[in-house]
Amino acid sequence: MTPVDQHLPLREQRHRALVDAARALATEHGADGFTVDRVAMLAGVSRRTVFNHFAGMDQLLVAVCEQILAEVTTDLLEGVDRGTTDLPAGGAGGPAALDAVCEATRDVDLPTAIVTIQHVLGGPDVADERADAISRTALEHVAGRLRERLLERAPGLDPLDLELTLTLLTSGLATIARHWLEEHASPAPDVRHENPRFAPERSMTSGPVRVTPDARAAWDRLLDRLLHRLRAGHAG
């Protein structure tokens, strides 16, 4: 986690502090293992401030997941930019742009983000409905950024084709992530807190989440199946 930048506006500083505090507590205790009061205390704000920024704890956990996905999202957007540099003219440009966003998922570290989110949301039960809803909401926010970028890069893209592709892609990623976690359950991550203020007691500090080569290879196979299904449809 990064220390709060004192040059940021106060509201943004508090927002980041709340997300950092929630992430630290959830990493240590799971999604059900902390309260609004503990988040407020660790972030150095009042209980009321928590609710000024977030409607409830689930919304705060969505923000934590978005923080975890931030690097992946940046890499995805860069992949979309590279893949749409020389789009074909005319009607072929739209499908090429959609294919670019699908291919961009191959070049980002989704496995590490998925494992981190699983541990933050808590527990070995990857079928937990609440955790599933929180992670899906975070993925939908990522899809929203991809939608904006694709419309910038390919203004002639059919809006319905774009919506269908992103919906199927994000839903498919969530589905294969759940399957992958069931097959490749990992131990709790070792999390190094860059800012000691957000390191809970008994926090593990020996290093970041690591995904084994075998687990990554399994993820790549699942992603191949998903992208093939998106291109070929049910008959493929």
Mind giving me the DSSP string for 175-199?
HHHHHHHHHS--PPPP---SSGGG-
**Which band of pLDDT confidence, cut at 50, 70 and 90, is reported for residue 191?**
very low
Domain ranges of the chain: 58-232
- The arithmetic mean of pLDDT across residues 7-18, rounded, is 86
Q: What is the pLDDT of residue 236?
A: 52
* pTM score, whole prediction: 0.78
Average pLDDT, the chain: 83
- Return the residue matching tokens 């199946």: 225
Residue 150: predicted pLDDT? 93
Average pLDDT rounded to a whole number, residues 17-23: 93
- For the stretch 47-64, pLDDT in tens is 999 999 999 888 999 999
3-state secondary structure of 11: helix
Residue 234 has pLDDT above 60, yes or no: no
| Model confidence pLDDT, tens digit, residues 104-135 | 999 999 999 999 898 888 654 545 787 888 88
